[in-house]
Structure 1
Amino acid sequence: MNATLRRILTGAMALSLAATMAACGNEDDDSGAEQEAIGLLLPENKAVRYEEFDRRIISSRLSTLCLECTLEYRNAGAQTDIQKRQFEALVKKGVKVIILDPVDAQAARSWVDAAARKGVKVIAYDRLAEGDVAAYVSYDNEKIGQLQGKAILAALGSQAAAADVVMLNGSPTDPNAPSFKKGAHDVLDGKVHKIVYEADIPGWAAAEAKKKMTEVIKSQGPAGFDAVYSANDGMAGGAAEALKSAGLKNVTLGGQDAELPALQRLVTGAQTFTIYKQVRPEAETAAEIAFRLIRGKSIKSLAPATADSKSKTGIPARLFDAQIVTKENMEDTVIRDGVAPANWICTKELAAACKSLGLN
């Protein structure tokens, strides 16, 4: 073979090899992007926890588990139609695992089922979405409602049997709300005198809770109730504003989520208790399940229980416990765990009240 022909063949082989390698490299990149992208769809941004805790913790845990994984995050701003478009866009993009906290669990069924038929694994997060979900990570929500009821009874003490209670329940589109309500009723019914008013609050809206509480004050009179059950802290904030506007003090008021404004209301006495749900183990477990699912590994050790929805039974689940937080045990719960350091809670305006509680 002469030198000229050798150079031609060598060059051709080099070009062919380079083209093959480039093609393989592109294929790997596309495949990697498709296989290693994990979606995170959170329902709204009014509650402090979603942006400050859930998103941050899930992202951090995934980054330690999987250097190749990317997190595709979207927030629906409490709009079901927006979340539907976000979900479908992730599926179209090729995301194979989606952590979904649904705005409307029932509405999500058709999206989840359509995604499952395409091999997409959906982890129902915090709220149990309807449809063919692969796993569920949340809390025992009836127990949380029971804790709320027990906290009201404890605050009322010997006056509980004669007490009248107002109940502001969660959003009718949230599958957790009936569980909170049932748990609270299981404890309160027969232990307090009467539930004098009860309403479900669409979208967990604080403004609507304030409006309803204002109406109750007008209809029942300032002395017409002794305690207010609020399904979460956001609505408790609305109820607290209505009570303050009416000049009412010493009304037992409880919520849920241990949000910073609620903890500050505990300090001032505007709120009596909240429920502390440890977001970190919930969020980290969801991230670890997502990682295992995307790699085709077993999730049995991470989801040892099962849960049933209206559309599917035997869903692998992990349900965490929660605890009551009052101003007396705040230091040994949310402050100790670093969820809300004392310097976050104790602003300049609350310095004196914090000092009286031994919070520095």
Structure 2
Amino acid sequence: MKRSNLIALAGAASVAVLGLSACSSGSSGSGGGDGLTIAFLMPESNTTRYETFDRPLFEAKVKELAPGSTILYSNANGDPTQQQSQLESVLAQGPDVVVLNAADSVQGESLVTTAASADVPVIAYDRFIDNDDVSYYVSFDNPVVGQLQAQSLVDHLKNDLGKTSGDLLMVNGAPTDPNAAQYKQGAHSVIDKSGFSVVGEFDTPNWAADDAQQWVEGQLGTIDRASLLGVYAGNDSTASGVIAALSGAGITPVPPVTGQDAELTAVQRVVAGTQYMSVYKSIKQQAEDAAAAAVALAGDSEPTSATTTDGIPATLLTPVAMTAQNIADTVIADGVYTSEDICTPELQAACTELGLS
């Protein structure tokens, strides 16, 4: 379905609220019902959300809307060549629609073209793909994510710690992820006018914690540690590497570090005080919106969209800055985690102080 066929779509996307269903292994579904075949291709596994949340939530919503559907799932593990092979494999199985989170933004454009040549519509999931043949895009307002991260860091330094100048490091996301560039853009729009100085900046391949850790360790050998006030980390995986480097170097207390995705281990670090914040994004909304759009496209209907991105019908969901003060109102209130999930024995005292247990 071409962009021109969908450009006039407008209206708010409606997302149903469902409980988490058990995820399938490989392809799932066995005839009957609507009999749709939907491919769900994810980019990497360094970010735990894809396996833990996106996949089971997407599959559960598809099964509710179109019982008996088959879902062809693959994760590229950060390898664009592997994702190309995965796409070719699912196209050979005749899917009705492909939901694609591209491992590489440039290669993603050619993958969409390949699918279009097979007359299979593509939904760009989470990461934008700049190709007119994309039928729909669902994600979050990515520049706002970066703004939330940076503003939380700057406000904490100024309002809570009384700092007005000093040094920051920026550990950004993968250079192959177009979202990472938007997060970085949003962060710079805040940091560049904050009065704080960025003394080092790094784009982390595949969002890998080990690469983030190694880079920060190298920086700690060259910068003035006493002037380092905080670290902008693009997501929770890179944050874990940053915190490991800072802790391993004996820097105590660990200066404030940002994150994104509200992974369980990150929420626990926020409770413990070793990570200052994360950005909570309702993956449930995103996965279920994509599932509804996939079922619509598979049935030759048009998905509803709230806006457009570069002319492609899109739904951009709203992210939320999560700190220790609003854990109860975000991930716990939305049923992502329970207080029992978060509050391990070693965190009980901190959880009690925060009113989480």
Tell me what 1:329 maps to. 326
Shift of 1:35: 6.8
Tell me what 1:357 maps to. 354
Q: Secondary structure at the match of 1:184?
A: helix
Q: Secondary structure at the match of 2:51?
A: helix
Tell me what 2:86 maps to. 86
* Equivalent-residue separation in structure 1 for 2:116 and 2:176 (angstroms): 22
Answer whether contact 1:160 1:193 (CA < 8 A) is retained: no
Unaligned 5+ runs, structure 1: 1-29, 309-313
Shift of 1:214: 0.9
Shift of 1:96: 2.1
Q: Secondary structure at the match of 1:136?
A: strand
* Equivalent-residue separation in structure 1 for 2:229 and 2:239 (angstroms): 15
Answer whether contact 2:331 2:337 (CA < 8 A) is retained: yes
Q: Secondary structure at the match of 2:225?
A: coil
Percent of aligned positions with the same letter in both sequences? 40
Q: Secondary structure at the match of 1:162?
A: coil
* Equivalent-residue separation in structure 1 for 2:307 and 2:157 (angstroms): 35
| Higher relative contact order (Cα pairs below 8 Å, separated by 6+ residues) | 2
Choose 1 or 2 for highest CA Rg. 1
Offset from partner CA, 1:37-79 (integer Å, 9 cap, x none): 0000011223221111100000000111001321111111111
Give the partner amino acid of 1:78: G
Tell me what 1:237 maps to. 240
Offset from partner CA, 1:166-220 (integer Å, 9 cap, x none): 1011111001011000000101112133111111111111001001111111111
User: Is 1:273 the counterpart of 2:277 in the alignment?
Assistant: yes
Shift of 1:34: 11
Offset from partner CA, 1:76-95 (integer Å, 9 cap, x none): 11111111111111111111
User: Is 1:255 the counterpart of 2:255 in the alignment?
Assistant: no
Tell me what 1:264 maps to. 268
Answer whether contact 1:171 1:202 (CA < 8 A) is retained: yes
* Equivalent-residue separation in structure 2 for 1:33 and 1:328 (angstroms): 46
* Equivalent-residue separation in structure 2 for 1:165 and 1:281 (angstroms): 33
Tell me what 2:109 maps to. 109
Shift of 1:153: 1.2
What TM-score do the two structures reach when normalised by structure 1? 0.87
* Equivalent-residue separation in structure 1 for 2:346 and 2:294 (angstroms): 43
Give the partner amino acid of 1:152: L
* 1:94-133 matched pairs, under 5 angstroms: 94-131=94-131, 132-133=133-134
Q: Which of 60-69 and 216-225 deviates more?
A: 216-225
* 1:310-349 matched pairs, under 5 angstroms: 314-349=311-346
Give the number of the structure whose residues are more often helix, by fraction: 1
User: Is 1:150 the counterpart of 2:151 in the alignment?
Assistant: yes
Shift of 1:315: 0.7
What TM-score do the two structures reach when normalised by structure 2? 0.87
Which of 205, 214, 220 is the matching residue for 1:217? 220
Q: Secondary structure at the match of 1:333?
A: helix
Q: Which of 69-78 and 232-241 deviates more?
A: 69-78
Tell me what 1:294 maps to. 298
Give the partner amino acid of 1:241: A
Which of 202, 205, 209 is the matching residue for 2:208? 205
* Equivalent-residue separation in structure 1 for 2:269 and 2:230 (angstroms): 16
* Equivalent-residue separation in structure 2 for 1:240 and 1:150 (angstroms): 20
Q: Which of 102-111 and 273-282 deviates more?
A: 102-111
Q: Secondary structure at the match of 1:165?
A: strand
Tell me what 1:69 maps to. 69
Give the partner amino acid of 1:247: G
* Equivalent-residue separation in structure 2 for 1:304 and 1:95 (angstroms): 26
Answer whether contact 1:307 1:317 (CA < 8 A) is retained: yes
RMSD, matched Cα: 1.8
Using a 3 Å threshold, how does the CA distance of structure 1 residues 245 and 253 change in structure 2: closer, same or farther? Answer: same
Answer whether contact 1:160 1:192 (CA < 8 A) is retained: no
* Equivalent-residue separation in structure 1 for 2:221 and 2:121 (angstroms): 50
Give the partner amino acid of 2:78: A
Give the partner amino acid of 1:262: A
Query: Aligned residue pairs: how many?
Result: 324
